């Protein structure tokens, strides 16, 4: 049997737990509100004032209306395809690059390091802002060439930090961000 915690320790624990529960409520309520409002009857919801803790008339008409649009399902399928495909490609390329950087006797080791460093240098010099608060952004990046979407938009690109860390492990001192 251990010693009983001191009064101040119990009080501190209760204050911390209370604060964390308050944060959970503050964070969860907007999500709950959106779900409850989305399944409520529109006119009953507009007549309601105050905190929303239950749905006012259960209706899925809004969801049915949204799902009638064939572009919604296609959009979700495209989203999942793009996410899974880009993660697979990105992880493959990053892993292969990491392998090449971690071994001294790999064919074309220096070519991969040089070309990767040159690509990062070109991106840094030509496509990043000079504003410190926007560090890590590629200002004129392209999201999807096949769909001609997200052309010339800012994108946060964190993989370069990973590649720079690998270069640093190899003894390279050039950093681009």
- The reported pTM is 0.43
SS3 107: coil
**What is the spatial distance between Cα 160 and Cα 127, in angstroms, rounded to a whole number?**
14
Per the structure block, which two tokens stand in for 28? Answer: 């969860």
**What's residue 177's pLDDT?**
46
**What's residue 90's pLDDT?**
76
φ, ψ of residue 157 in degrees (nearest 5): -125, 90
Residues for the chain: how many in total?
177
SS3 44: helix
**Number of helices followed by number of strands (H, E) in the chain:** 6, 2
**What's residue 103's pLDDT?**
77
**What is the spatial distance between Cα 30 and Cα 25, in angstroms, rounded to a whole number?**
9
CA-wise closest residue to 93 among 124, 114, 116: 116
* Interacting residues of 124 by C-beta distance below 8 A, sequence separation 6+: 176, 177
Alpha helices in 48-108 (DSSP H): 61-68, 70-102
SS3 113: helix
**What is the spatial distance between Cα 5 and Cα 11, in angstroms, rounded to a whole number?**
10
φ, ψ of residue 11 in degrees (nearest 5): -65, -45
Per the structure block, which two tokens stand in for 86? Answer: 């880009």
Per the structure block, which two tokens stand in for 117? Answer: 């460093």
**What is the spatial distance between Cα 87 and Cα 92, in angstroms, rounded to a whole number?**
8
Place of tokens 């964190």: 158
Q: Walk along the chain (177 residues) in steps of 10 and give the mean pLDDT of each run.
A: 81 96 95 90 83 86 86 85 82 77 74 71 66 61 66 62 62 59
**What's residue 161's pLDDT?**
56
DSSP label of 50: S
């Amino acid at each position: 049997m251990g010693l009983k915690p001191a009064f101040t320790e119990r009080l501190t624990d209760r204050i911390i737990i209370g604060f964390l529960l308050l944060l959970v409520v503050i964070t969860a309520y907007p999500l709950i509100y959106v779900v409850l409002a989305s399944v409520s009857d529109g006119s009953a919801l507009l007549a309601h004032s105050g905190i929303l803790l239950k749905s006012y008339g259960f209706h899925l008409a809004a969801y049915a209306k949204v799902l009638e649009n064939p572009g919604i399902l296609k959009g979700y399928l495209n989203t999942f395809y793009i996410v899974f495909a880009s993660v697979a490609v990105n992880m493959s390329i990053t892993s292969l690059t990491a392998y090449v950087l971690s071994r001294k006797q790999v064919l074309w080791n220096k070519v991969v390091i040089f070309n990767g460093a040159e690509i990062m240098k070109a991106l840094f010099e030509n496509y990043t802002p000079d504003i410190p608060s926007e560090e890590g952004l590629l200002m004129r990046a392209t999201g999807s060439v096949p769909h001609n979407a997200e052309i010339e938009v800012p994108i946060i690109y964190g993989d370069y930090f990973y590649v720079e860390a690998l270069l640093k492990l190899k003894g390279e001192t050039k950093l681009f961000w």
